[in-house]
Structure 1
Amino acid sequence: MNTRDWLRTHQVAVYTVSVALAVGFGVGLPAAAPLFERVLTPVLAILLYVTFLEIPFTRFRRAFTNVRFMATALGMNFLVVPIVVFALTRVLPQESVVLVGVCLVLLTPCVDYVIAFTDLAGGDAEQVTAATPALLLVQFLALPGYLWLFVGPEFAAIIRAGPFVEAFFFLIVLPLTLAWATDLWATRSDAGDRWQDTMGWLPVPMMGATLLVVIASQLPRVEASIGQIAVVVPVYVAFLVVMPLLGRLAASAVGLDVGAARALVFTAVTRNSLVVLPLALALPAGYELVPAIVVTQTLVELVGMVVLTRVVPAWLVRSAPDHARSPFPGT
């Protein structure tokens, strides 16, 4: 087993070490938090670049044309999830800071480690990767409207478009364009092929680095405000329980195969805390608690993902029995 395969096989262990290091920095060296915060956007951009490179664009386009999966994933994330979030947040204190934090993270589907956890559960990671640009684009377009509906027009009046535009460029347009250019370069040049091969080692380490930077930069805020933040934890846990069940129902309703069904479950439940964090940090005075609320979701979700990688294939979306499978591939 080479190093790349070892990293993929042991990626949960890598992420666990990253989180442990982040907690060590956050608790033992809280003064370093601003330094981690400054490198957050570049680290995220690199993570998304190497994530987009995971699948060659010829296969990427083919997966993108799976209309049934794409439509169901978009429907789950932008029609079903908002209804669930609205229902769950009714139990929260109806103060804008708490609602903004919870809505900001729960209304945005994950585009990074969802791929790794889908793969660990035996799901169609290629299909999730293909859906990433659409999920990113739609969430950035829809999020202001959802916040206006859920939090109120007073929040819409103070939010600035600049951070959204900046995040869209640096976290979507730039990584995707560079990934496309790299893929094209690799098909025409040995140097490009070597570069792409080298980048193939980075997804797991970059995911670990991202978790380290995100948690270490925000843990002091979480610690300082734990009394206010604790109220959102049951909402995050309830979301982790409800959405896999709804994702499984949706997959059955549209007739997805096992791999795509598992992929749908994970894209319905994992949230985009890492990418929306720069938006939370850009909010005006009075919303300093929002980044801590967002990062708390990351900590809860990581525990949930470890559980779901076992529960989804073993119980929620089981493989078809051998006797039920067609003996003819592709039928």
Structure 2
Amino acid sequence: MEGKKWLRRHQVLVYAVAVALALAVGVGRPTWAIPIEGLINPVLAVLLYVTFLEIPFVRLRQAFTNGRFIGAALGLNFLVVPVVVWGLTRFLPPNRIVLVGVLLVLLTPCIDYVITFTDLADGDAEQLTATTPALMLVQLLLLPVYLWLFVGPEIAAIIEAGPFVEAFVLIIALPLGLAWLTEAGAEQSARVAGWQERLAWLPVPMMGVTLLVVIASQLPRVQDTFGQIAVVVPIYIVFLVVMPLLGRLVSGRLGMAVGERRALVFTSVTRNSLVVLPLALALPAGYELVPAIVVTQTLVELSGMVVLTRVVPTVLLPEPSADDRHPTVTSGE
């Protein structure tokens, strides 16, 4: 598995090349955006499939019983994040449309590629996978409530379950089921086992393909309106900085293992932009700027994730030293 090790060691380089290609395509060939956009869900499904293949399903079953992590993820995403978002939006200009766009994307935790980012940072991806049904259901229930509180009842009424359910079935449930069948088949067939082993080097390249497809397809959406929505970029950047620190603090208070702590950091910071984008596109007349505001968060977040997959395991939450794992016991004086 030398290829896999090399890719993990140089993953930031792979992502940088993918982002550079995406920028070149997005700026140089904006007419390609629509056909490329049709690839987002299939590419995400493949990305999650190869990620799930790396998760032993016996550990995944155990993860469903970890109420402490699931409770922490829900509390961080639906109690702490709304407070942070409310505070950050106080710095926005008094523009209802901009506010709706920022709230729509920052109040919804990611349920798809966050699992891959967590895995690439050597976090507890199986625990995060087990938490995604709860994250999806609770955000569907609470997003209208938060929009009603922060904006008004007329905005809360436009939230629909369809995009959330479709994304969960196609991007989470289907790849997870296929990965389980592959793992079960690998125990019975050498050919399937060989297939699974060859797929083990794909998570990093598929993450690069995902970056390429998402950025190249969405960049043209924001090019013509960037002057109007540039005000949201600092808000998104501050969110990327603040939430990992809060995730680290909360997970440390709960005494979690380092893998769980990294997973909690990633679920606190990654947002559900690709799922809420259809909601943004379906908003009534007068809200045409909201999709560009959502897409801008995607572009900022993906750039930040390239950094966080390296910073979280090496700086923010490194593996404990031998002394930390086995503290020296000294006799009392």
Distance 2:91 2:255 in 1: 34
Residues 1:213 and 1:14: Cα distance change in structure 2 (over 3 Å)? same
Instruction: Mark the CA change 1:46 to 1:309 in structure 2 (over 3 Å): closer, same or farther.
Output: closer
Match of 1:187 in 2: 187
Q: Please name the residue that 2:271 is paired with.
A: 271
CA distance in 1: counterparts of 2:270 and 2:8, whole angstroms? 19
> Superposed, which structure 2 residues align to 1:97-246 within 5 Å?
97-119=97-119, 121=121, 123-246=123-246
Equivalent position amino acid for 1:324 in 2: D
Report the secondary structure of 2:230's partner residue.
Answer: helix
User: Hey, what's the Cα distance between the residues in 1 that align with 2:88 and 2:200?
Assistant: 39
> Unpaired runs of 5+ in structure 1?
none
Report the equivalent of 1:57. 57
User: 1:71 maps to which residue?
Assistant: 71
State the 1:230 CA deviation.
Answer: 0.6
Which amino acid in structure 1 is aligned with residue 324 of structure 2?
Answer: A
Structure 2 distance, partners of 1:283, 1:170, is 23
Question: How much is the aligned-residue C-alpha RMSD, in angstroms?
Answer: 2.9
Greater mean alpha carbon deviation, residues 215-224 or residues 121-130: 121-130
Counterpart CA distance in 2 for 1:84 and 1:20 is 32
Output one character per residue of 1:262-288: Cα deviation in whole Å (capped at 9) or x when no partner: 332222122233444344345455443
Counterpart in 1 of 2:25? 25
Match of 2:231, SS state, is helix
Structure 2: gaps of 5 or more residues: 329-333
Secondary structure of residue in 2 paired with 1:25: helix
User: Which residue identity is paired with 1:237?
Assistant: I
8 Å Cα contact 1:247/1:268 also seen in 2: yes
The answer to whether the 8 A contact 1:41-1:278 is kept is no
Structure-2 change in CA distance of 1:150 and 1:315 (3 Å): same
**TM-superposed deviation, 1:161:** 4.0
Inter-partner Cα distance in structure 2 for 1:86 and 1:191:
53
Percentage identity across paired residues of the two chains: 69
Question: Distance in 2 between the 1:114 and 1:168 partners?
Answer: 13
In 2, Cα distance between equivalents of 1:97 and 1:290: 6
2:44, 2:112 within 8 Å by CA — same for their partners in 1?
Answer: no
* CA positional deviation for 1:236: 0.8
1:305 CA displacement: 3.5
Partner of 1:248: 248
Instruction: Decide which structure has greater helix share.
Output: 1
Report the Cα distance in structure 2 between the residues aligned to 1:148 and 1:185, rounded to whole angstroms: 48
* Structure 2: distance between partners of 1:317 and 1:41: 31
CA shift for structure 1 position 170: 2.1
Q: Which moved more, 1:126-135 or 1:25-34?
A: 126-135
| CA positional deviation for 1:227 | 1.3
Q: Secondary structure of 1:188's partner?
A: coil
Q: 1:108 is paired with a residue of what secondary structure?
A: coil
Q: Is contact 1:167-1:279 (8 Å) kept? A: no
Query: Contact (CA 8 Å) 1:218, 1:291: kept in 2 or not?
Result: no
Query: Deviation of residue 312 (structure 1)?
Result: 4.1
Q: How does 1:28-43 map to 2 (within 5 A)?
A: 28-43=28-43
Instruction: Describe the SS at the equivalent of 2:108.
Output: coil
Using the TM superposition, give the Cα deviation of residue 133 of structure 1 relative to its aligned residue in structure 2, in angstroms: 4.1
- In 1, the alpha carbon distance for the partners of 2:73 and 2:56 equals 21
Q: Deviations over 1:171-218 (max 9, x none)?
A: 333333333333333333334333433433332222222221211111
Q: For the Cα contact (< 8 Å) 2:144–2:157, is it kept in 1?
A: no
For residue 187 of structure 2, give the secondary structure of its aligned residue in structure 1. helix
> Aligned pair in 2 of structure 1 residues 260, 168: CA closer, same or farther (>3 Å)?
closer
Q: TM-score, normalised by structure 2?
A: 0.85
Q: Which moved more, 1:52-61 or 1:1-10?
A: 1-10
Counterpart secondary structure, 2:157 = helix
Asked if 1 retains the 8 angstrom alpha-carbon contact of 2:53 and 2:200, the reply is: yes
Per the alignment, in what secondary structure is the counterpart of residue 255 of structure 1?
Answer: coil
Shift of the 58–122 alpha-carbon distance from structure 1 to 2, 3 Å rule, reads: closer
Kindly tell me: are residues 180 and 282 of structure 1, through their superposed partners in 2, closer, same or farther at Cα, counting changes over 3 Å?
farther
Q: Deviations over 1:55-76 (max 9, x none)?
A: 0211111233222222212211
Partner amino acid, structure 1, of 2:197: D
How many aligned residue pairs are there? 328
Of 168-177 and 206-215, more deviation after overlay is shown by 168-177
